[in-house]
Amino acid sequence: MPASRSTSPARTLTARLLLRPFLPSDWRAVLAYQSDPRYLARSHWKRRTSRDAKAFVAMMMRGWRARPRKFCHAVVLRRTGALIGNASLRPGRTGADIGYEIAPDFWRRGYATEAARALLDLGRRLGFTRIEAWCWSDNLPSRRLLRKLGFRQVGVDARFRKVHGSWRGRRRFVHVENAARIGMPPRT
């Protein structure tokens, strides 16, 4: 049985979450978590403003109109209706990639895993045979999450972006269900 149910790519239900398109009014919830010092410490931004949050929500909303369409979801708790992050499936030339972020107050509760698993399910339903993900090299929880979902690390970009005055690396992962198609050796 799939980890998520979907009536359309726009709306996906998991055990505890609703993944849905962003609404203009979501900017306040986005600002609340994106301005949290714990979030900023792991982000490339130094601070976030209401203008930044509104622009972020607008960008996520534009994803639904893009060609190819980007499936940019607000991550909402089903129990309370609170927006706690975002999760996206973005088609590319060779497949799709997923991305996710969860508000710091909700870290370590399995919500990112649940949202990412729903994105994988969506990707399969849409016919993608290659699904990738990137994360900051120093983000150990995200690296563990990706491995838990069956992703395998396939690359490192040690100097991806200068963040707060220092270079930060990122790691590239691919879903191992598709490993044979890209010449990856079997897991031992």
Q: Terminal CA-to-CA distance of the chain, rounded, Å? A: 27
pLDDT tens, the chain, 188 aa long: 455 665 567 899 999 999 999 999 999 999 999 999 999 988 878 899 999 999 999 999 999 988 888 999 999 999 999 999 999 999 988 889 999 999 999 999 999 999 999 999 999 889 898 999 998 788 899 999 999 999 999 988 776 665 667 777 788 999 966 455 545 544 43
Domains of the chain: 5-182 (3.40.630.30)
Report the distance separating Cα 110 and Cα 103, nearest Å. Answer: 12
pTM confidence score: 0.86
